[in-house]
Structure 1
């Protein structure tokens, strides 16, 4: 079966400026693809190219196995949910949701049935007779989603739909979108700059920077095996620690030396990784630097680190120290005894570390 969406060698130029460079990505039916990256990386432009709102400068685009490269947006069998909601202010919620069906000449009975189904899914039945000006931001976003859902398209496109909502409502709506995807089995492409949204919603993530795809993978692949320093730093909250280090081989494996602010360097031994260059960037997630009493893996190694800052955060406590000339964050239990200015033994889980080349930023292991 053909992918539900396939983008081949896509380029997009604005005059002499190249904003998308050789984009290749595909998803299967039922996938939830999230395009994520910083502002200006090209993710919304790519979404607009998929929708047909922006003509592409090169390459091809297929939806449901059909070439849609030069097809009008209305003929692509897509539905789009915008950041701005794009609701008609003079129409009721019910009319906003059914307007597209009315324009396409769908009979009233079908319109009513679709409206009832979608209103129940989104829990907006009491709002159907209100107008957008009488709704909260979260309610407006539900209506915008309802308008897309009644289309029953091949592909749903979401352009940062939650960015106008407050933090609590964003979490609630994120959960609703996830549940909708699971219940409908629909194919979705979703744009966000929020890496937590990307990790929680996606079945497949595309990380972009400067109009170039940096990595494509599942949330677990992106998080655990970032392809380069940019992905390692961008994906994760707090971000992966990226620590300059020296390596050398001995009989027990690869010895890793990390400079401390004062005194001798930390010395760790990774028994599994060979053929690393002398200079590396060691990537380690905050949760993989732990209190020794809580370590569960045999390859966690303990080193003394002077704590600079202690940040209680409810269920966890974050501590910050200087290693390799960088601020390094560890995620400890709330009950930790760590104190600022005091040396603390910490266990580094070498089974989960990443190594990157300082010159290129590319992953080495």
Structure 2
């Protein structure tokens, strides 16, 4: 079976400026694809190209096995949910949801059947007679989603739909969208700059920077094996620690030296012979640096570090120190005894670290 969305060698230019460069990505029926990256990376432009709102400079775009490269938006069998909701202010919620069906000539009985079905799914049955001005931001977003759902399209497109909501409502709506996807088994493409949204919603993530795809993978692949320094730094909160280090094979494995601001360097031994260059960037997640008694992994090794800052954060406490000339964060348990200005034994889980080339930024292991 053909992928529900298949993008091949897509380029998008505005005049002489290249916005998207050689984009290749596909998703199968039922997948939830998230395009994520910083502002200006090209993710919304790519979504608009999929929707047909922006013409492609060169390349091909297939939806449901059909070449849609030059097909108008209304004939692509897609539904789009915008950041700004884009509701008709003079129409009721019910009329906003059914308006597209009315324009397409869907009979009244089918309109009402789909309206009631979607209203139940989104829990907005009590809002059908209200107008958008009488709704909260979260309610408006539900209505916008309802208008897309009644289309029953091959592909749903979401353009940063939660960015106008407050933090608590964003979490609630994120859960609702996740449940909706699981219940419908629909194919979705979702744009966000929020890497937490990307990690929690996606079955497949595309990380973008400067109009170029940096990595495609599942949330676990992106998080645990970032392809380069940009992905390592962008995906994760707090971000992955990226520490300049020196390595050399020592017969037992790979010796790692990390400079300290006070005294001799930290020396750790990775038990694998990794054939690494002398200079590397060591990538280690904050949760992979812990206190030895809470770090049961056989691949963990302890070292003494000088604590600079302690940040209590409820269930966790973040500890910041300087290693390799960089601020390094460890995620410790809330009852830690770590104190600023004092030395602390910390265990680094070398079974979960990443190594990157300092010159290219590419992953080495």
TM-score range, shorter chain: over 0.9
Separation in 2, partners of 1:242, 1:200? 24
**TM-score, normalised relative to structure 2:** 1.00
Q: Which 5+ residue runs of structure 1 have no aligned equivalent?
A: none
Partner of 1:25: 25
Separation in 1, partners of 2:134, 2:35? 32
**Deviation string, structure 1 residues 220-277 (Cα, Å, up to 9, x no partner):** 0000000000000000000000000000111211000000011000000001142100
Per-residue deviation at 1:130? 0.1
Partner of 1:303: 303
Separation in 1, partners of 2:299, 2:123? 49
Partner of 1:354: 354
Partner of 1:64: 64
Partner of 1:87: 87
Per-residue deviation at 1:296? 1.8
Stretch moving more, 271-280 or 345-354:
271-280
Partner of 2:126: 126
Q: Which 5+ residue runs of structure 2 have no aligned equivalent?
A: none
Q: Structure 1 stretches (4+) deviating beyond 4 angstroms?
A: none
**Deviation string, structure 1 residues 191-229 (Cα, Å, up to 9, x no partner):** 000000000000000000000000000000000000000
SS at match of 1:308: strand
**TM-score, normalised relative to structure 1:** 1.00
Native 8 Å contact 2:356 2:363 kept in 1: yes
Partner of 2:96: 96
Partner of 2:345: 345
Partner of 2:142: 142
Q: How does 1:35-46 map to 2 (within 5 A)?
A: 35-46=35-46
Separation in 2, partners of 1:249, 1:116? 66
Partner of 1:12: 12
SS at match of 1:113: helix
Aligned residues: 365
Partner of 1:155: 155
Task: Work out whether 1:263 is the aligned partner of 2:263.
Answer: yes
Native 8 Å contact 2:252 2:273 kept in 1: no
Native 8 Å contact 2:321 2:327 kept in 1: yes
Task: Work out whether 1:196 is the aligned partner of 2:207.
Answer: no
Separation in 2, partners of 1:291, 1:250? 26
Partner of 1:243: 243
Separation in 2, partners of 1:274, 1:314? 38
Give the root-mean-square deviation of aligned CA atoms.
Answer: 0.4
Partner of 2:114: 114
